[in-house]
Structure 1
Amino acid sequence: MKVLIQLTILVFFSTHGYSQAMTNSTALKQSLEKATAAIRNAFGQGDAALIGQLHSPQVIKYFGGKNVIVGRAAVEKGARDWFQQSKVEFIENTVENTTFIGEIAIQTVIFSIKTTPRTGGKSTIGRGRAMVIYIQDKSSPTGWLTLREIAQEAPPKTD
């Protein structure tokens, strides 16, 4: 009987002591949606400084091949350079999945970005799928910062 009690205690602590707290509250979902909307709106407004503030200083963004952006300053500079040449707007943002683990959110989305050259010319639309890891952070204007992002080509639309 003593062995059974010890085993029960061991199993309890091994499964509960190390398990990750999975949460999925409405409040968390709403706060993350406000944060992601702020990022999309900042692109639409051409606000590179705000885009920088919404990313962790240690952010890493992987866009395929050697296209890797490391750090908040690099994200802000890349956005500023893009905005000098083009008007940018998100025209699609379909959330596929969101998971909350403690103060971390992992989200996959299908997105489309319309880029219109400022010097005239035809707009282009880039469509992709991204997995983004967000962390809650009081230094962020929205309470969330982008920590990691991986983007790839999105699957074709099935209209």
Structure 2
Amino acid sequence: MKTLMYCLVFILLEINCSAGDRNDLEKDKKDFIKTTEMIRSAFARGDVAMITSLHHPNVIKAFGGNNYVDGRDAMVKGLIQTFNSVKLEFTENKIENTLFNGDTAVETSIFTMKATPKNGRPISYSRGRAMVIYIRYKDSPTGWASIREMAQAAPDEK
């Protein structure tokens, strides 16, 4: 009888621990979604400080060709130069896949960015596919920060 009682207690503890893990994953997902929404919103406002707070100091971004950004300071410099001449906003952000693995999240998405030049030139659009790796980062307002990003041309629309 004691053995059965111990087994039941063990099973109940295991179920409770598993439920706790699911609750943490749900919170992680909500915080993660908030992170990606905050990044896109900050781009639309040209808010370099907010964008910076959601990126790890050792962030690396590879956008093809010679467009390679190594470190948050280089990212900030590029953002300031960009926002001085254009307003950027995401007009599309279709999540293809998100993977959570402990303190890491990997997301692939199809995006479209609208660039509105401040000098009155015509608006342009860039469409691409990005893979972004996020890690838990205590100094981020959401607890997540982008640390690696690669982008390429998006597939043709069907």
TM-score, normalised relative to structure 1: 0.82
Q: How far, CA to CA, are the matches of 1:133 and 1:148 in structure 2?
A: 5
Comparing 23-32 with 78-87, greater Cα deviation is found at 23-32
Query: What runs of 5+ residues in structure 1 fail to find an aligned partner?
Result: 1-22
SS class of match (1:140): coil
SS class of match (1:25): helix
What does residue 70 of structure 1 align with? 70
Q: How far, CA to CA, are the matches of 2:51 and 2:76 in structure 1?
A: 6
Report the alpha carbon displacement of residue 25 of structure 1 after superposing the two structures with TM.
2.9
Structure in which a larger fraction of residues adopt helix: 2
Query: Match for 2:109: what amino acid?
Result: V
What does residue 119 of structure 2 align with? 119
Query: Match for 2:32: what amino acid?
Result: L
Q: How far, CA to CA, are the matches of 1:108 and 1:90 in structure 2?
A: 15
What does residue 4 of structure 2 align with? none
CA contact (8 A) 1:113 1:125 kept: yes
* Count of residue pairs the alignment pairs up: 137
Q: How far, CA to CA, are the matches of 1:153 and 1:57 in structure 2?
A: 26
What does residue 26 of structure 1 align with? 26
Report the alpha carbon displacement of residue 137 of structure 1 after superposing the two structures with TM.
1.1
SS class of match (1:28): helix
Report the alpha carbon displacement of residue 139 of structure 1 after superposing the two structures with TM.
0.5
Query: Match for 1:141: what amino acid?
Result: P
Q: How far, CA to CA, are the matches of 1:130 and 1:48 in structure 2?
A: 20
SS class of match (2:157): coil
SS class of match (2:29): helix
Q: How far, CA to CA, are the matches of 1:98 and 1:132 in structure 2?
A: 10
What does residue 79 of structure 2 align with? 79
TM-score, normalised relative to structure 2: 0.83
Residues 111-136 of structure 1: CA deviation (Å, up to 9, x unaligned): 00000000102100000000000001
Query: Match for 1:155: what amino acid?
Result: P
CA contact (8 A) 1:62 1:69 kept: yes
SS class of match (2:142): coil
Superposition pairs of residues 129-140 of structure 1, within 5 angstroms: 129-140=129-140
Runs of 4+ residues deviating >6 angstroms: none
Query: Match for 2:112: what amino acid?
Result: S
